[in-house]
C-alpha cells in the first residue's frame, strides 16, 4: 500500500512539473541581438542603453514596454500591436486609455488643452509617449519591422515630446537631439511592415 501511495505521489509531482510553464527567455538589449534591420537603422549607441532616460528602453515605461511586449508577442503574433498598446494604457487608468493618441503638436494650444486634462498633465503624457516610442523600437529590434499604425503613432508621440522639450530644462538640447534622431530613423522604416495597421485608435 505504501509503495502504491509513494508511486502516486511521485507521478503527481512529475505531472505538476510538466504543467508548469517554461520560463520565458528574453533577448538582451544589445545591438548584436537585434534583427538585421534594427542593427542597420538603430545605429546610435543610446538605443541600447537601459539607463539613459532619453533612450527608448532607458526610462521605466520604455523598459517595461520592451519586456511586456516580448511576453505578449509570443502568444499573440497574429494580433494587431495596437491591441497591446490599448491594453497597457488601460492598465494605467481610464484617463490614459481615453487620450486620443492621434493628437499631434501642430495645434499647440489644443495639445496643451488636452494634456491639461490628464492626471499629472505632461508627466502623464510623457508616460504615454514613452510607451508608444518604446513599442515602435521594440518591434523593430525584435521583428525587424514596425506595424504601420504603431510607426505613425510613434512619430506623433515624438512630435509631442519635442513640443514639451523645455520641461527638461538644461537637458532639453540632448533630449531634442535624440528625439530627432529617433524620428528620422522611424521614417527610414516606413514601408517595411508586413502588417498594415489602422492607426485610428485612442
Q: What does the pLDDT profile of the chain (202 residues) look like in tens digits?
A: 544 444 444 444 444 444 344 345 678 999 999 999 999 999 999 999 999 999 999 999 999 999 999 999 999 999 999 999 999 999 999 999 999 999 999 999 999 999 999 999 999 999 999 999 999 999 999 999 999 999 999 999 999 999 999 999 999 999 999 999 999 999 999 866 644 444 334 4
Answer whether residue 54 is part of any domain: yes
Distance CA 128, CA 93 (A): 11
Task: Give the pLDDT score at 22.
Answer: 39
Buried/exposed code over 120-130 (b: 16+ C-beta within 10 A; e: otherwise): eebebbbbbbb
Cα of 2 vs its chain's centroid, Å:
55
Cα-flanking dihedrals φ and ψ of residue 198, to 5°?
A: -80, 125
DSSP output for 137-148: HHHHHHHS---H
Answer whether residue 22 is part of any domain: no
Distances 93 to 97, 98, 104, 154 between C-alpha atoms, Å: 6, 9, 21, 20
Task: Give the pLDDT score at 26.
Answer: 76
Distance CA 202, CA 55 (A): 24
Answer whether residue 142 is part of any domain: yes
What is the span of the domain harbouring residue 123? 29-188
Task: Give the pLDDT score at 190.
Answer: 83
Domain count, the chain: 1
Are the beta carbons of 163 and 111 closer than 8 angstroms? yes
Answer whether residue 155 is part of any domain: yes
Answer whether residue 193 is part of any domain: no
Are the beta carbons of 80 and 147 closer than 8 angstroms? yes
pTM of the entire structure?
Answer: 0.84
Strand runs labelled E in 31-139: none
Answer whether residue 146 is part of any domain: yes
Closest CA to 99 of 82, 86, 108, 83: 86
At residue 38's C-alpha, the angle toward residues 124 and 106, to 5°, is 40
Answer whether residue 131 is part of any domain: yes
Distances 99 to 70, 92, 111, 117, 157 between C-alpha atoms, Å: 25, 12, 11, 9, 12
Answer whether residue 55 is part of any domain: yes
Amino acid at each position: 500500500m505504501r509503495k502504491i501511495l509513494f508511486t502516486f505521489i511521485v507521478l503527481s509531482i512529475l505531472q505538476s512539473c510538466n504543467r508548469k510553464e517554461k520560463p520565458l527567455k528574453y533577448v538582451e538589449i544589445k545591438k548584436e541581438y537585434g534583427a538585421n534591420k534594427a542593427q542597420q537603422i538603430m545605429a546610435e549607441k543610446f538605443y541600447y542603453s537601459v539607463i539613459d532616460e532619453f533612450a527608448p528602453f532607458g526610462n521605466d515605461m520604455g523598459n517595461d514596454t520592451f519586456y511586456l511586449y516580448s511576453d505578449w508577442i509570443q502568444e499573440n503574433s497574429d494580433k494587431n500591436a495596437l491591441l497591446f498598446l490599448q491594453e497597457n494604457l488601460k492598465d494605467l487608468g481610464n484617463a490614459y486609455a481615453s487620450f486620443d493618441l492621434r493628437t499631434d503638436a501642430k495645434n499647440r494650444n489644443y495639445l496643451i488643452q488636452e494634456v491639461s486634462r490628464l492626471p499629472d498633465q505632461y508627466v502623464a503624457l510623457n508616460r504615454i509617449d514613452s510607451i508608444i516610442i518604446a513599442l515602435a523600437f521594440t518591434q523593430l529590434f525584435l521583428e525587424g519591422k514596425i506595424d504601420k499604425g504603431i510607426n505613425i503613432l510613434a512619430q506623433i508621440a515624438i512630435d509631442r515630446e519635442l513640443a514639451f522639450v523645455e520641461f527638461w530644462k538644461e537637458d532639453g538640447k540632448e533630449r531634442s537631439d535624440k528625439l530627432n534622431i529617433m524620428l528620422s530613423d522611424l521614417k527610414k522604416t516606413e514601408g517595411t511592415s508586413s502588417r498594415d495597421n489602422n492607426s485610428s485608435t485612442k
